[in-house]
Structure 1
Amino acid sequence: MQRQARMLELLQELVNIDSDSYNKTGVDQVGKRMIEAYKGIGFKATLLPQKEYGNHIVLRDDAAINPSILVLAHMDTVFPKGTTATRPFSTEGDYAFGPGVADMKGSLVTTLFAMERLVERNEEARKEVEILLTSDEEIGAPSARSFIEAHVKGKKAVLVMEPARKDGSLVTFRRGGGRYTLKVYGVAAHSGNEPEKGASAIEEMAHKTIGLHGLSNKEIGIQINVGMIKGGVAVNTIADYAEAEIDVRISTKEQALEVDQAITQLCQTTVVPGTSIKLEGGLTRPPMERNQETVALFSQIKTIGQKLQLNITEASSGGGSDASFASALGVPTIDGMGPIGAGFHGQDEYLELSSLESRSDLLYETIKSLVQA
């Protein structure tokens, strides 16, 4: 079977496995399939068992001793169990569709086939690659972060297999961020008979929402968004409880402490008498900053792309990825090394099938170049 057909066959198999971050069974099924595939090319798998989330997996060639390059990918998606039953893998022309087809089942395929080529051609570079497949990237890597940081240390480069942007761009900058939950406690009372006995948690939440949004600063890349609010039990009852989910985005490491302190300070006092506040959460991902090391690595990959007749450009992203953890440790990191796609996390997510081979070749040539440098 030709390479493209084999890639397509594996892609269909992976996409049709439900593997949202909280579906340990599904993620582990994807992991089992990848272990099996890598075993076929002489790679050894080491499981990093998890109780709550899927198991993380480290993959190395049998002859590898101290790999210098980390290839980072994730097996989880955002789509809940049952999605593949109603919207399974499909193709139309040069496009493939299905839950997680681009983010990032396609990248699991291109990574495997790049490694296969290294093995087939008996490239010494195969011994310099360590692959880390994680299970909870889509929810901020609560269990994977420590493993990512441990495996990044000592590496000369990290290649993150998030999909390339729809124009084929690699990602050289990502905003960091985190999530907070704000809980406001009030005093319930009938809004008609005895409103003076109540203290509205919703009113206090309104003050806090305005205050939190006021901490945003678009000019320097700080964005704070109260995205979800719930509270109250009836329209004629003063609410004794309200809760909000807050999304925070930052652009530099220095902003992390500043923003966290500003949010904490805002939530230390109340405006509405009789209410109290509890703030939970924090900043969980540092930004992936476009530093000199990243620019140099991008330039190297761009040159490799030219030899492959690929026009490699760079882009920034407001969303987070595990690339941030690697970049924050000072190791040259490039994101978006996977195949080309768009519509991530939505029903219209797609992957360009023609990019499967070309982006696998780009990864193969990049690894060879990094080892030779």
Structure 2
Amino acid sequence: MESFYNEREHEMLKLVEKLVNIDSGSYFKEGVDKVGKILTEEYRKLGFEVEVVEQEELGNHLVIQHRDAVNPEIIILAHMDTVFPEGTAAERPFTIEGDRAYGPGVIDMKASQVSLLYAVKALIHKDENCFKNIKIVLNSDEEIGSTTSRAIIEREAKGKKYALVMEPARKDGSIVSARRGKGNYTLIVEGKAAHSGIEPEKGRSAIEELAYKIIQLHELSDHEKGISVNVGLIEGGSSANTVSDHAEAQIDVRIAEVEQVELIEEKLEEICSSTDVAGTKVVLEGEMNRPPMEKNKKTRALLRIIQDVGNEIGVEIEDTATGGGSDASFTSALGVATIDGLGPVGGNAHSDKEYLKVPTLVERSLLLATIIQRLTEKSK
């Protein structure tokens, strides 16, 4: 298969360029759907059926499998959305400097889309029927929590043996075997306004109450156990000489183990069940929206297979854990053996310095194709 890729590296890069130069921020439906149409056409040319799951406001999701597939055992996840607003691609389009390619979403994860597509093409070219053993879900809202696609991912993942997730490999080439779970909460405090010079005693400061709560929330962090609670954004008040009657905080929660979900939720509820400033009211909204991806027995077994494949094709594979979220959490929580970070190598995602290590586009596509081949052989 290596010669197949070497002959098509330029072709692969041209498709990466085409995708990168399309704005596809999560809230820009037109752009995400444009990416989806290009990929739909590519897969249909290969004999794959593409179910387009229509979305009213966000981009459509795609569920893809070969027309001759029967109960595929491998689910592959990749997202079409980026974090960048409309107009970014025009401001800094796809470029190549040395062995790096730059552009919005180039590594997270336009290059992964191309890597996946060409892994499928290579298997077909080699006449390997294992391309019938995969189901692909391309979603449009991963960067904003997979709010409309989570149910689709979980539905399609049920009964699968393996989940391969196409988030990019880390800068050092490591793939991802564990991720922390994630929750997003909003803390809303209502107080009573008053003039701070004339009658401050009649006021009930929402900001003061929020300050107490922030301290209590941050005390929940236990970094040795993988728990972190961060109040990352606050707002409130109307003027410096007014006792504030409203304040809000955005809270990011990360956990390392499923068992910590109940613990952290109980502590959040306890903190918000009372107030320190008399006369104020507190409301907590939100939820733990991504379970942790734990490095369990199934994951370790899948990791060993992938590392063996890497050794065979001359790619040393290390694994790592990360605090960032991805759709891998959903498949892992269902008990499916899951490995993430199987896309090409790059870095600085979500920034104007985002890059792809160009040689790894072919390398990781070959790795993925060989993994699919190996997992299919094991199932026979």
Runs of 4+ that moved beyond 6 A: none
SS in 2 for 1:164: coil
Q: Which amino acid aligns with 2:49?
A: K
* Cα distance in structure 1, aligned partners of 2:372 and 2:106: 24
Letter in 2 for 1:14: L
Matches within 5 A, 1:260-339: 260-339=265-344
Aligned to 2:170: 165
Extract unaligned runs of 5+ from structure 1.
none
Selected match of 1:353 from 351, 358, 378? 358
Q: Is 1:123–2:147 an aligned residue pair?
A: no
Post-superposition CA distance 1:213-260 (Å, at most 9, x none): 011111111000000000111111111111110000000000001101
Which secondary structure state, in structure 2, belongs to the residue aligned with residue 253 of structure 1?
A: coil
Which is further off, 223-232 or 23-32?
23-32
Q: CA–CA distance in 1 between the matches of 2:249 and 2:166?
A: 33
- 1:81 matched residue in structure 2: 86
Q: Output the CA distance in 2 between the equivalents of 1:2 and 1:17.
A: 26
**Superposition deviation, residue 62 in structure 1:** 2.0
Q: Distance in 2 between matches of 1:283 and 1:156?
A: 25
Q: Secondary structure at the match of 1:6?
A: helix
Equivalent residue in structure 2 for 1:227, among 232, 235, 238: 232
- CA deviations on 1:162-197 (whole Å, 9 max, x unpaired) are 000011111000000110001111111111111011
Letter of the structure 1 residue corresponding to residue 320 of structure 2: A
1:264 CA displacement: 1.4
- Tell me, in whole angstroms, the C-alpha distance in 1 between the residues paired with 2:250 and 2:18: 35
For residue 39 of structure 1, what is the aligned residue in structure 2?
44
Hey, what's the Cα distance between the residues in 2 that align with 1:80 and 1:261? 37
Aligned equivalent of 2:155, options 145, 150, 154? 150
| Alpha-carbon displacement from aligned partner over 1:17-75 (angstroms, at most 9, x marks no partner) | 11111111111111001001112222221111111221110111221121111111000
Q: Where do residues 67-216 of structure 1 align in structure 2 (5 Å cutoff)?
A: 67-216=72-221
**Paired positions, count:** 373
CA distance in 1, matches of 2:292, 2:257: 6
SS of the residue aligned with 1:37?
Answer: helix
SS in 2 for 1:279: strand
Q: Structure 1: which amino acid aligns with 2:183?
A: G
Q: Aligned partners of 2:119 and 2:104: how far apart in 1?
A: 23
The residue number in structure 1 matching 2:368 is 363
Distance, in Å, in 1 between the alignment partners of 2:110 and 2:199 is: 58
- The percent identity for this pair of structures is 53
TM-score, normalisation: structure 2: 0.97
Give the superposition deviation at 1:299: 0.7
SS in 2 for 1:142: coil
2:3 match: none
Distance 2:341 2:90 in 1: 28
Once residues 52 and 284 of structure 1 are traced to their aligned partners in structure 2, the CA distance between those partners, rounded to angstroms, is: 20
* In the alignment, structure 1 residue 5 sits paired with structure 2 residue 22: no
Report what 1:245 is aligned to. 250
Question: Partners in 1 of 2:204 and 2:167 — Cα distance?
Answer: 47
TM-score, normalising length: structure 1 = 0.99
Unaligned runs of 5+ in 2: 1-5
Partners of 2:240 and 2:247 in 1: how far apart?
14
SS at match of 1:280: strand
Secondary structure (helix, strand or coil) at the match of 2:235 reads strand
In the alignment, the residues of structure 1 paired with residue 264 and residue 174 of structure 2 have an alpha-carbon distance, to the nearest angstrom, of 30
Aligned match for 2:261, one of 235, 256, 261? 256
Q: Deviations over 1:313-370 (max 9, x none)?
A: 0011100100000001111000000000111111111110100001000000000000
